[in-house]
């Protein structure tokens, strides 16, 4: 693993933002962070960095009690090239939060690539971003995704769905697969394989 701790000050031109909010599912956020931070720190020559953000720039408490810090608030965040919206219990509140939905729509109008993990796609659906698009979410929320927007072509089997400027992924650990796909898309398949080897991600379920 690289010895350098994650930093916001790496000389890069393109940036990935990972959204944090209270009751975020920890692995939804930390899984993609591990993949993408390992990549960007190990290969700064690729020209990417990753940072975290929350509404006020303060720490959040995850769904299972883990405190997660953020680097930026919405107000002091500069332009992103990719946004990752995780899921978790906290998305139930965000589905009804008109300020948040407006913020998400604003990001979609300015950020070239929007991505989600787990029930993060429900927020995108509530914001009207998935009209007539293929998408997925956690298996237990597939029906809700369809209820929020019946025009969505819900993929019940995919670990992630890449629809050009929108990538959604299934539940929790699927965010790792989505993040590796993101590395492959942004820096090539061989780079993604290097990252997968580096974090020793080779799932072989025993049960």
175 pLDDT higher than 80:
yes
List, for residues 66-84, the tens digit of each pLDDT value: 999 999 999 999 899 999 9
Q: What is residue 14's predicted lDDT score, i.e. its pLDDT?
A: 96
**The pLDDT value given to residue 19:** 98
Q: Residues 153, 133: contact at Cβ < 8 Å?
A: yes
How confident is the model over 177-204, as a mean pLDDT?
96
Provide the pLDDT confidence category of residue 204 given band limits of 50, 70 and 90.
Answer: confident
What residues have CB less than 8 Å from 68, skipping those under 6 apart? 20, 24, 26, 29, 30, 52, 59, 60, 61, 62
Give the predicted TM-score (pTM) of the model.
0.93
| Residue 99 in domain | yes
In a domain, 6, yes or no: no
Query: Does residue 12 surpass a pLDDT of 80?
Result: no
Contact present, 107 and 159 (Cβ < 8 Å)? no
Give how many domains the chain has, as a whole number.
Answer: 1
Instruction: Give 114-159 pLDDT, tens digit per residue.
Output: 999 999 999 999 999 999 999 999 999 999 999 999 999 999 999 9
Q: Is 9 among the domain residues?
A: no
Residue 205's pLDDT is 76
Q: Which domain range does residue 158 map to?
A: 14-198
Strands, DSSP E only, in 38-108?
A: 48-54, 60-61, 67-68, 72-73, 82-85
Active site annotation includes 118 = yes
Q: Catalytic residue among 118, 126, 174, 195, which?
A: 118
**Does 2 map to a domain?**
no
Examine residue 193 and state whether it is found in any structural domain, yes or no: yes
Domain containing residue 193: CATH number:
3.40.50.880
Residue 96 CB burial class (10 angstroms; 0-12, 13-18, ≥19): exposed
């Amino acid at each position: 693993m690289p010895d350098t701790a994650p930093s916001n000050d790496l000389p890069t031109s393109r940036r990935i933002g990972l959204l944090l909010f209270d009751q975020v599912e920890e692995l939804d956020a930390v899984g993609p962070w591990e993949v993408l931070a390992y990549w960007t720190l190990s290969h700064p020559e690729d020209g990417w960095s990753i940072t975290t953000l929350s509404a006020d720039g303060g720490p959040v408490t995850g769904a299972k009690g883990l405190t997660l810090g953020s680097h930026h608030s919405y107000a002091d965040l500069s332009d992103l090239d990719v946004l990752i919206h995780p899921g978790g219990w906290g998305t139930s509140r965000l589905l009804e939060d008109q300020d948040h939905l407006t913020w998400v729509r604003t990001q979609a109008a300015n950020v070239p690539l929007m991505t989600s993990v787990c029930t993060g796609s429900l927020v995108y659906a509530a914001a009207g971003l998935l009209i007539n698009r293929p998408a997925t979410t956690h298996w237990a929320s597939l029906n809700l995704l369809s209820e929020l927007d019946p025009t969505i072509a819900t993929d019940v089997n995919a670990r992630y769905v890449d629809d050009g400027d929108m990538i959604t992924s299934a539940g929790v650990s699927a965010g790792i697969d989505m993040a590796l796909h993101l590395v492959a898309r942004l820096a090539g398949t061989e780079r993604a394989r290097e990252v997968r080897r580096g974090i020793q991600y080779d799932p072989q379920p025993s049960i």
